[in-house]
Structure 1
Amino acid sequence: MSIAVKSGSNLYYVLVTEESSRMLEFNDASADQRAALHPALVDRRTLLNSADPSLGRTDARRSAEDEVGGILEKFDEARDTLLVFSRRDRTQPLGHAWWRTGVGNYPEEGLAVLRDLEVESEHFTEATSKVLGRLEAAGTRLVVTRARADDSASLCGFEIAGFRRISMVMYRDLARPLSLDMSCPAVSLRTMTAAEATSYWTQFTREYTDVLIDEMRTPEFAHREAHWLADLSQQEEGLPLAIVDEESGESVGALWYFVSDSGVGSISDIRLQETCRGRGFGTATFQCLEARALEAGTRFLVLGVACSNQPALRLYRKVGFEATSIELRRRIGPS
């Protein structure tokens, strides 16, 4: 039979036969197999890391080597699993799955990260089903994975397996100048007053809780995580910034922006008052931010956005951001 699945704006047809759906054997990798897979895991992790344009090829590989090597050298069989797939009629491995359970700030939530899944497309459904079965048996309730935005095959396979696109990471290379839109209103950025900041964090906590619930997190976790993040962030000076309409002198929105240790400008939140949306204030804010970032020597801007937030996606693409990686999630076990 063939399964039709819509992945992004494309429609794919995947052929699944009864024979191909029961051709694999699944075995936990031995220490020798883990060592043999090490180069392939590093190569695949390097490819995923290279979706971050702020990392050069050398840094992407070094990061992959550190991550893969650290986990394989300190392999925790209670949390780490590396599963090897092979055909029943052959001994040569066809692929692997690599995941860790009990991650996150709240292990009781049952979160697992599927770090890598490599198998031929005709066996993807069977392999994914086996992985999800193992995870559910271990008490996992939410599985998270990530794929490059240009990896249509993996995105399609995960969506067939019931995963949902949750969010994407987008980058802007400031070496490519943004064409100024002179029709936009003039805006500036300033540190918020204490009263403005208090109002902002109250609104942020409420809205971020709703976002986390929409991203398949439990209400209890979402509430705790949103308050934890807000409390932690308020310890940083200069956060957040008020977006000011130069004509009226009034605040029309907020921008939570900081520069990471690697020198990348990170946009954690941008919001405009409802009456100011669709009037060019969003574009004007990015024009102002880019000038500020370039003056400080920042080369890249990065942000995360929910895949369902189409108005924000349209704005980010308009001002030159490109998607680099996509996070997918699937709930398993009791709802």
Structure 2
Amino acid sequence: MKKEKVKVAVDLGNSMLNSAAYIEKELILKKLPNKLQFEKTISPKARVMKKDGKVIYLGVGDLNNNVLKHTRKNLLEQVLVMIHEIFPNEDNLSVELITGLPPTQMFNEKYLKLFQDIFIQPGEIKITIDGKQKTFEILNVDVKAEGYSGFISLVDKITTKQNILGIDVGGSTTDLCNYEYDYEDDMYYPNVTDTIEKGIIDFETAIANKFNSKNGADIKISQIDVILRNDIDVIEYEGSKYKLDDYIDAMYPIIDDMINKITNKFGQLDGYYVVGIGGGYKTFNKYANQFISKQLEVDDDSRFYANVIGYLEQ
């Protein structure tokens, strides 16, 4: 059977996975929660993968997050399912894979090699997804910098050339980079980078902990995640409704600490034109916007998919 050669970008976020590819010049985008389990489930949200005699249910279950991505379990399976999301009807694919790491991990040669080696498999990879047999061959792995890649995808929307700071708020990390415009090359170049090991999962955990402590409850972080991502202003629990505003301040000390670290590295936020990206930026900005005087206004999808689109555009 003839293989189809494709180029696919996959962003392995700590909270959400997303993938992107061009099919007949049309950009296709897909997303899936960074969750998996091995227990059987009939949830229609689960992607059921059989590989090497084991069955994994992807998109449901527990968060599969880990700050150091090369230590995360089942990364290859997550990449394969995100490729399948883009090409559900193709059974035999040769893949040029583009993915990303936080700059501090990408600059570590040991971490980078360990990460790349997860995806470089000898020969073909044979799996079944949702009852459909598929064969993959990963030809190569190109690793890009998270944060900078998101900036690349939004650069045409930026209206200033000075004092630009990119803030990419992910699940468990926040990547930062300031940019300098080169008038001779007519390009923005990255300058100083940094990674803070905090993200939207930390915000959600703090809110859930306050809610549970105050109400003797056992609300899940995943429910808080749905509330924050969808701009829902109430928490529903066991038949009662609670105002999110009564609990959201639990995340403020975390964001204060993040802002202090940003200030120590880059200077005051109000001196920058901020380009905010990532699935957690909207929540971060609910509190941090009081410290920001100018920022790029873009829709939620542009922020969420910024990195994975940027992987393709480099």
Work out whether the TM-score is over 0.5.
Answer: no
- Computing the radius of gyration over CA atoms, which structure comes out larger, 1 or 2? 1
| Shorter-chain TM-score tier | under 0.3
Alignment TM-score, normalising by the size of structure 2? 0.25
Alignment TM-score, normalising by the size of structure 1? 0.24
